[in-house]
Structure 1
Amino acid sequence: MFSSKVQLQKRTPENGTDRESYLTLLVDEYINKESTESKCQVLANLANFAYDPINYDFIRDVGVLDIFIHVLKNENNGTLLHFAAAGLSNLCIDPENVEYVLKHADLKIISTLLKSSHSETVAEAITIFIYLYHSHAKSAVESLNIIQDIQSLTNSENKVISNLANIFIDDVNKGHCANN
């Protein structure tokens, strides 16, 4: 459920940690943990915070987007990649976050997630591209082989992947029809 600043203030105890401070603690914890299991847990928490638009400014300010992008560029652990993709998927509905992703991430790296053996990660990657396609990043998405890669997923045995891929391809086809 989405929150308002007033609701957040009401739920924060008088001497409690505010949302931005808590996210900062999570970022520090992720950076300082050595255990992959601990990093996965913290990254899952960060991805959950990315669900609520009230957190977007905090997420940008404390470097959560940078962590998600760093994981996508540098990690090969499937669980870490899944949580980073989930976090970006949650954030890419916001134009400022899209701009940040376009500036600091490589869409080719995100497109490699379409070939992941983890179905949830593939679904998150398709969702990222759906949001990017509906933003000012449409031409960046069209310039790569992403459309063909997602087209190949429309017949996936996994219904979530198949449905998301078909939604994306339908959106592309509607966009091309509108341009003709």
Structure 2
Amino acid sequence: MFSSQAQLKKRTPENGTDRENYLSLLVDEYINTNSLDAKCQVLANLANFAYDPINYVYIRDVGVLDIFIHVLKNEQNDKLINFAASGICNLCIDPDNVEYFLNHDALKPITKLLKSTQNDTVADAVTICIYLFNSHAKTAISTPEVVQDMHNLKNSNNTIVSNLASIFLDDVSKNN
């Protein structure tokens, strides 16, 4: 459920931590912990916060986008990658976030996820590509390589992945 500023204020105790500070604490915890389980839990929480557009400014301000991009570029752990992909997927409906991803070279690691062996991650990656194609990033995401990957994914045994790839390809064919 999407929130309003009034709802956030009402749900925050008088002496409680506001949303931006809480997100900042999560970012600090992610950066400073050495525990993989803690990193996974924090990244999952950050991806969940990315679901609500009211959080987008806070997410950008405290560096969550940078963490998601860093994970895609540098991590090998499938869980971390999946949580980062989910977070990016949740954020791609916002033009400012799309611009941030474009300016921080996130397209290559996003499209690399199309070759993942994890169906949930692939589904998120295809969904990100759909959102990007339907944004001002259309030409950046509709490269021949991505279109070919989508043709391959259209034949996936995973129905969700196959259907999402078909949606992307339909969008591309309608715009050519």
Same fold (TM over 0.5): yes
1:83 corresponds to: 83
The offset of 1:11, in angstroms, is 0.5
Amino acid at match of 2:92: C
After superposition, give the CA deviation of every residue in 1:95-144 in whole Å (9 maximum; x if it has no partner).
00000000003312111111111100000000110011001111111235
User: Structure 1 runs of 4+ off > 4 angstroms?
Assistant: none
Please tell me whether residue 124 in structure 1 is matched to residue 110 in structure 2: no
Structure 1 residue runs of 5 or longer lacking an equivalent are none
Cα distance in 2, alignment partners of residues 56 and 109 from structure 1: 21
Cα distance change, pair 43–143 in 1 and its aligned pair in 2 (3 A): same
The offset of 1:47, in angstroms, is 0.2
The offset of 1:91, in angstroms, is 0.2
1:53 corresponds to: 53
Please tell me whether residue 100 in structure 1 is matched to residue 100 in structure 2: yes
Where do 1:22-171 residues align within 5 Å? 22-143=22-143, 145-171=145-171
Cα distance change, pair 64–144 in 1 and its aligned pair in 2 (3 A): farther
TM-score scaled by structure 2?
Answer: 0.98
> RMSD of aligned C-alpha atoms?
0.8
3-state SS of the aligned residue for 1:156? coil
Cα distance in 2, alignment partners of residues 107 and 101 from structure 1: 7
The offset of 1:147, in angstroms, is 1.0
Cα distance in 1, alignment partners of residues 140 and 162 from structure 2: 23
Structure 2 residue runs of 5 or longer lacking an equivalent are none
3-state SS of the aligned residue for 1:136? coil
